[in-house]
């Protein structure tokens, strides 16, 4: 995890559960004065407002902003059109959109072109990062009695940013019956120095498990999946010791082996400094000191085109930006961010946030994250603003209010939603660490659907939410259209809601409260 931003946020308070924020806010906004004409404009690479604004010929006035809401405008058909174009770009550029590849570069050009056509002036926020490359296949084998040579890609895979090394040593399971396996230094009490640590995937980042193991003297780390399949993961920054992700099927016997287990772990990798970029665009209109940031990562894994992860989030954000522009000027500036190098450890979003001044951080009212909204075996997860982030403490005040806005939207449509775990595995993490309220939507990845969830959403119990996660089969054909439609409607509602007011999140009201608001305020308190 990245360090907490040194400047604390201004005080915010979550609203008590059960208050109907959407209804009150709608009434307040209906009584507000009509809005002036505005258009998106160029900002500097760290989000400063331009020195002057200018109108654009042909920019549509916002006469119908309440007649057609953003969820009505951001349709599944239009989102799928962007997803199909991203798939075509990946197909003709090596099969993926991984950072540093032609696929990523052309996908960024597509996003920029679409934003420019809508009237925005997107810019590239460049950064340097430490790239990791695997030079040859990793090795995992079991020696001693009953030797086994495991199959790379099926039974195990190297974690991105794993250190290189070749280790043969006894292997010891660490708190194997807990979802917090390896998450604290206490888990490694009495760990034999030089042994290989076997941990279980669960409630904390892989980087934290790995660092705790290294601090305890482990020579290598295995992280066993909670599902039978193998998985692709990252330790975010170069580790001190080799790290492999292991399938649940191959890992279960290792966890149960007890004393006498000996393994060989080999990773052949290197790291080097490279350059990449995020694509950023924002509305010219709206308050520049109360900015709503909506983002998702543009890159895919190298294994495939990433239609769901995260073509779905990119397509949704892009269409939301296009349609928001047609509504005219929002009360609060909305900044759309398409992050680079997320799959290598949230690099683009982290570099962006850490590059902001304290004043620029304070100008951001909240961050909304959209990473995978079309999972094949989906659920409706609302990022849980009331929980702690691993290694970061409680989510910033106001995060719970963001979650409530999304949850109420689903509830009003008779749709079940659930709190989604703030695992720290997506681009909301650096914003939360900087003290910015965070929220967003997620349709599920490698977690396993329960029987109850299958009743709520359909799909197959006992299977992962996205069986194609981080594989070459993450294609448009395997995206769930119901998931895409339902989560994009809710996502568009959230963007529109907070573009109008962030009052429930940070107490900021863009207009003075008159008699009508005072009356509504009394109703609010009942």
33-75 confidence digits (pLDDT tens): 333 323 333 334 333 333 333 232 232 333 344 458 999 999 9
Residue 260 within a domain: yes
Express each pLDDT in 238-265 by its tens digit.
999 999 999 999 999 999 998 999 999 9
Contact (CB, 8 A) for 6 and 361: no
- Could you tell me how many residues make up the chain? 526
Q: Which residues pair with 464 in a beta bridge?
A: 448
- Per the annotation, the verdict on 133 as an active-site residue is no
Average pLDDT, the chain: 86
Instruction: Report the share of the chain in percent with pLDDT over 70.
Output: 84
In a domain, 515, yes or no: no
Tokens at residue 146, please?
Answer: 């009953």
- Same domain flag for 393 and 476: yes
User: Does 24 map to a domain?
Assistant: no
pLDDT tens-digit map of 411-470: 999 999 999 999 898 999 999 999 999 999 999 998 999 999 999 999 999 999 999 999
| CATH number of 395's domain | 3.40.630.10
Quick one: pLDDT band at residue 213, thresholds 50, 70, 90? very high
- Written as six digits, the tokens of 481 are 């259209």
| CA gap 39, 55 in Å, rounded | 6
Higher pLDDT, 372 or 16: 372
229 shares its domain with 323: no
d(CA 141, CA 526) in angstroms, rounded, equals 65
Q: 320: phi > 0 → left, psi -120 to 50 → alpha, else beta; which?
A: alpha
User: How many independent structural domains does the chain possess?
Assistant: 2
Q: How confident is the model at residue 388 (pLDDT cuts 50, 70, 90)?
A: confident
Tokens 């998106």, residue located: 40
- Residue 181: give the domain boundaries: 133-272
Domain match, 446 and 341 both:
yes
Q: Exactly one of 80, 284, 329, 342 is catalytic; which is it?
A: 342
What is the arithmetic mean of pLDDT over 329-334?
A: 97
The pairing of beta strand 262-282 with beta strand 123-142: antiparallel
The CATH number of the domain where 205 resides is what? Answer: 3.50.30.30
Tell me the C-alpha distance between 456 and 464, whole Å: 15
470 C-beta neighbours (distance < 10 Å), count: 22
Look at 390 and 338; give whichever has higher pLDDT.
Answer: 338
End-to-end CA distance of the chain: 42
Tell whether 340 is covered by a domain: yes
Query: What are the pLDDT digits (tens) for 114-164?
Result: 999 999 999 999 999 988 999 999 999 998 777 899 999 999 999 999 999
Residue 172's pLDDT is 97
- 477-517 tens-digit pLDDT: 999 999 999 999 999 999 999 999 999 999 998 764 444 44
CA distance 38 to 34: 13
Residues 223 and 322 in one domain: no
Beta strands 332-339 and 262-282 are antiparallel
* pLDDT reported for residue 393: 83
Q: What is the pLDDT of residues 338-361, one digit of tens each?
A: 999 999 889 999 999 999 999 999
Characterize the bridge pairing of strands 196-200 and 287-297: unpaired
State phi, psi for 239 to the nearest 5 degrees. Answer: -85, 170
pLDDT at 270 > cutoff 90: yes
Q: What is the DSSP string of 149-208?
A: EPPBTTTEEEPBTPPPEEEEEEEEE-STTSTTTTSSGGGGTTPPTTPEEEEE--SS-HHH
- The answer to whether residues 197 and 223 touch, using CB atoms and an 8 Å cutoff, is no
Tokens of 166: 């070749």
Place of tokens 């290197």: 270
Residue 524 inside a domain? The answer is: no
Same domain, 178 and 113: no
Residue 210 · residue 233 · CB < 8 Å: no
The SS3 assignment for 328 reads coil
Domain boundary among 272, 307, 336: 272
């Amino acid at each position: 995890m990245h360090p907490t931003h040194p400047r604390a946020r201004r005080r915010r308070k979550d609203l008590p559960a059960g208050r109907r924020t959407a209804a009150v806010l709608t009434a307040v906004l209906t009584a507000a004065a009509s809005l002036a004409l505005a258009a998106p404009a160029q900002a500097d690479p760290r989000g400063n407002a331009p020195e002057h604004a200018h109108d654009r010929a042909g920019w549509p006035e916002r006469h119908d902003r309440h007649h057609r809401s953003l969820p009505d405008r951001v349709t599944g058909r239009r989102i799928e059109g962007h997803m199909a174009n991203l798939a075509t770009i990946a197909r003709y550029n090596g099969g993926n959109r991984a950072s540093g590849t032609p696929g990523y570069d052309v996908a960024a050009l597509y996003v920029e072109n679409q934003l420019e056509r809508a009237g925005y002036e997107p810019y590239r926020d460049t950064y340097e990062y430490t790239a990791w490359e695997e030079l040859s296949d990793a090795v995992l084998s079991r020696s001693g009695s009953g030797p086994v040579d495991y199959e790379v890609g099926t039974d195990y895979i190297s974690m991105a940013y794993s250190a290189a090394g070749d280790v043969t040593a006894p292997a010891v399971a660490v708190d194997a019956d807990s979802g917090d396996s390896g998450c604290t230094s206490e888990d490694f009490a009495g760990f034999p120095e030089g042994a290989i640590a076997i941990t279980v995937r669960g409630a904390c980042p892989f980087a934290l498990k790995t660092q705790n193991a290294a601090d305890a003297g482990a020579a290598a780390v295995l992280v066993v999946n909670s599902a039978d399949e193998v998985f692709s993961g990252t330790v975010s920054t170069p580790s001190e010791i080799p790290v492999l992700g292991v399938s649940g099927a191959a890992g279960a016997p290792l966890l149960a082996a007890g004393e006498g287990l000996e393994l060989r772990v080999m990773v052949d990798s290197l790291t080097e400094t490279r350059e990449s970029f995020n694509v950023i665009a924002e509305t010219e209109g709206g308050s520049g000191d109360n900015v709503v940031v909506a983002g998702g990562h543009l890159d895919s894994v190298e294994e495939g085109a990433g239609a769901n992860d995260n073509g779905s989030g990119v397509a949704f954000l892009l269409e939301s930006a296009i349609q928001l522009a047609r509504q005219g000027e929002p009360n609060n500036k909305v900044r759309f961010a398409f992050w680079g190098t997320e799959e290598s450890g949230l690099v683009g979003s982290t570099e962006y946030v850490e590059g902001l001044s304290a004043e620029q951080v304070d100008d951001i009212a909240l961050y909304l994250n959209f990473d995978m909204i079309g999972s094949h075996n989906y659920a409706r997860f609302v990022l849980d603003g009331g929980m702690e982030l691993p290694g970061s403490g409680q989510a910033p005040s106001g995060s719970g209010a963001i979650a409530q806005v999304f949850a109420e939207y689903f509830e009003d449509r008779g749709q079940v939603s659930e709190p989604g775990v703030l695992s720290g595995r997506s681009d909301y993490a650096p914003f939360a660490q900087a003290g910015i309220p965070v929220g967003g939507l997620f349709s599920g990845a490698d977690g396993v659907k329960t029987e109850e969830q299958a009743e709520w959403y359909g799909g197959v119990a006992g299977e992962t939410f996205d069986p194609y996660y981080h594989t070459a089969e993450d294609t448009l054909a395997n995206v769930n259209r119901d998931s895409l439609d339902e989560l994009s409607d809710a996502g568009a509602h959230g963007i529109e809601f907070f573009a109008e007011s962030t009052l429930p999140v940070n107490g900021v009201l863009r207009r003075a409260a008159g008699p009508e608001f005072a009356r509504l305020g009394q109703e609010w308190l009942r």
